[in-house]
Homo-oligomer: A and B are copies of this chain.
Amino acid sequence: MHFAVITKVLGILLMVFSFTMAPPVVIAYWYRDGSELAFLSAFAVIFLLGLSLWLPMWRKRAELQTRDGFLVVTLFWTVLGVIGCIPFLFNPALDISITDAIFESISGLTTTGATVLTGLDELPRSLLFYRQQLQWLGGMGIIVLAIAILPMLGVGGMQLYKAETPGPMKETKLTPRIAETAKALWIIYVTFTITCALLYRWAGMDWFDAVAHSFSTVSTGGFSTHDSSLIYFDSALINGIAVFFIFLGALSFALHFAAFRSRSLRAYVVDPEFRFFVGLIVSYIVIVASGLWAYDHYQGNTSATLHHAIFQVVSFSSGTGFISTDSSDWPTYVLYFLVLTSFLGGCAGSTGGGMKIVRAALVFHHSLRELRRLIYPTGVFAVRFGHRAADDRVLQAVWGFVGVYIMLSVMFTLVFIMTGMDPGTALSTSAASLNNLGQGIDGVASGFGNVTDFAKWMMCFAMLLGRLEVFTMLVLFTPLFWRQ
């Protein structure tokens, strides 16, 4: 392990992060909301912290290896998640415990979007902007993590993507080409964000809300500047725009890159994960809409039924967590179904949460193969994904991932029951955190302000685990990892 270099890199990260206080400072001045000094002090503290990590180590050089990668990635997200709480603590308009501040910060950065705050509409705009910006930056980070870094680390079968990502990714060294890959992906991400913001503005949001919500839309983050989320705008047009950009955010950015490079939509149509995802979304919508119809929830109003079914399905299954309606009076099983869709989540290499569609698809095809094998015991069946047969090693990694993920969901649910939640609420809390969904139902439908501090810390842990594809972080808990 190259601890010196890792410390140095962390120092640089913090110094770079400190400059993200600039937009909130500008906004604080613009709206004169009284947060200027808070953000400036946050900048100073975080910059100096970074400097104090970097300075003693700045001469150290070493090529980071694959194994350092697990530690670096986990530290990046954990340290940034914790340090990101400073602006919440410093803000004079907010009286918040350290637990709550760290929760909000980690929830932002992991694009979870679970919140302990209420009265958002009254908060300083600069602080609201900071929250949205956390999600946007987290989304950026996750795309690079999922497409450029995790495949090299071999987490959860993501070697699958090695061959498909732009640039040669077969080296075991961490640095080369990451920058180049990142640049290409970020151009797409920024383009989506700007387009989304312009459309939101056109559809009726003010500039501030348009930009703020574009941040949490393409990152499938789900933070809003209003307590009532998108219900506040009460606009089918805005909801439609949200659905479209959430959907884009939940697709693989490697796929967007391929489509962008070939200047054609064919890349999407032929992609097996895209097709599986669309198929799933359509069946989700059918199930939710027919549930609403069966209970005559919108008194036969087809357009309202479809509108909210589509919105909630896309929002929950991608792990975004925006809401278009107060669904607390929806049929219970529909609500739980929505929560369960977040376990499969979005596509790999997207900003979406959950186990990822590609894994769900492989597991599904694998299970079908086992059924076929029972009928033709001597037949040879490959697990196909698109036109290729999935590699056995990849399948094994995927199964290992899925197994551990389900085990963790169950464990977190039990832990949340232990903190006093009823079983349904506990499951919803697990899904909200581990799948980076952010939105709860039942006892946590209106936020997580009232759960115990212990539950909040467990949620922080779950959010980080989920965002780092579980294994990246879990591997650090094995003695084997630390052996030389």
What residues make up the interface of A, taking CB atoms closer than 8 Å to B?
A: 66-67, 70, 153-155, 172, 331-333, 336-337, 340, 363, 366-367, 369-375, 377, 392, 395-397, 399-404, 406-407, 410, 413-415, 417-418, 422-424, 427, 471, 474-475, 478, 480-481
A340 to B410, CA, bound (A): 9
Query: Looking at the complex, which one of B154, B363, B375, B400 makes contact with A369 (CB distance below 8 Å)?
Result: B400
Which B residues are CB-close (under 8 A) to A406? Answer: 406
Q: Write the chain B residue with the least CB distance to A421.
A: B332
Q: Write the chain B residue with the least CB distance to A399.
A: B399
A137 to B369, CA, bound (A): 34
Which B residues are CB-close (under 8 A) to A413? Answer: 336
| Interchain nearest-CB distance for A461 vs B (Å) | 17
- Contact in complex: A366, B399 (CB < 8 Å): yes
Which B residues are CB-close (under 8 A) to A423? Answer: 332, 336, 423-424, 427
6 pairs across A/B with beta carbons < 8 Å? Answer: A67-B375, A153-B374, A333-B415, A336-B414, A372-B480, A423-B423
- Contact in complex: B371, A403 (CB < 8 Å): no
Known contacts A369-B400, A401-B370, A414-B336; A377 and B427 CB within 8 A of each other:
no
- Contact in complex: A417, B375 (CB < 8 Å): no
A397 to B369, CA, bound (A): 9
Given A340-B410, A340-B414, 15 additional A-B pairs, CB 8 A: A70-B374, A153-B374, A333-B414, A333-B415, A336-B414, A363-B403, A370-B397, A371-B475, A372-B480, A374-B475, A375-B480, A399-B403, A422-B424, A423-B423, A423-B424
Which B residues are CB-close (under 8 A) to A331? Answer: 418
Known contacts A366-B396, A403-B402, A422-B424; A417 and B374 CB within 8 A of each other:
no
Q: Write the chain B residue with the least CB distance to A343.
A: B410
Q: Write the chain B residue with the least CB distance to A395.
A: B396
Which B residues are CB-close (under 8 A) to A422? Answer: 332, 422, 424
Query: Looking at the complex, which one of B155, B333, B373 makes contact with A397 (CB distance below 8 Å)?
Result: B373
A397 to B424, CA, bound (A): 32
Q: Which of A336, A401, A403 has the most chain B CB within a 10 Å cutoff? A: A403
Chain copies in the assembly?
A: 2
- Contact in complex: B471, A417 (CB < 8 Å): no
Which B residues are CB-close (under 8 A) to A427? Answer: 423
- Contact in complex: B366, A154 (CB < 8 Å): no
Which B residues are CB-close (under 8 A) to A481? Answer: 375
- Contact in complex: B400, A370 (CB < 8 Å): yes
Which B residues are CB-close (under 8 A) to A370? Answer: 396-397, 400-401, 404, 471
Q: Write the chain B residue with the least CB distance to A294.
A: B418
A474 to B375, CA, bound (A): 11
| Interchain nearest-CB distance for A291 vs B (Å) | 8
Query: Looking at the complex, which one of B153, B155, B336, B414 makes contact with A417 (CB distance below 8 Å)?
Result: B336
Known contacts A375-B478, A410-B340, A423-B423; A403 and B155 CB within 8 A of each other:
no
- Contact in complex: A371, B471 (CB < 8 Å): yes
A396 to B380, CA, bound (A): 13
- Contact in complex: A475, B375 (CB < 8 Å): yes
Which B residues are CB-close (under 8 A) to A366? Answer: 396, 399-400, 403
- Contact in complex: A374, B333 (CB < 8 Å): no
A154 to B372, CA, bound (A): 11
Q: Write the chain B residue with the least CB distance to A331.
A: B418
| Interchain nearest-CB distance for A372 vs B (Å) | 6
A156 to B422, CA, bound (A): 34
Which B residues are CB-close (under 8 A) to A153? Answer: 374
Known contacts A367-B403, A401-B370, A423-B423; A377 and B154 CB within 8 A of each other:
yes
Known contacts A369-B400, A400-B370, A414-B336; A377 and B66 CB within 8 A of each other:
yes
A414 to B337, CA, bound (A): 7
Which B residues are CB-close (under 8 A) to A402? Answer: 403
Query: Looking at the complex, which one of B400, B415, B418 makes contact with A367 (CB distance below 8 Å)?
Result: B400
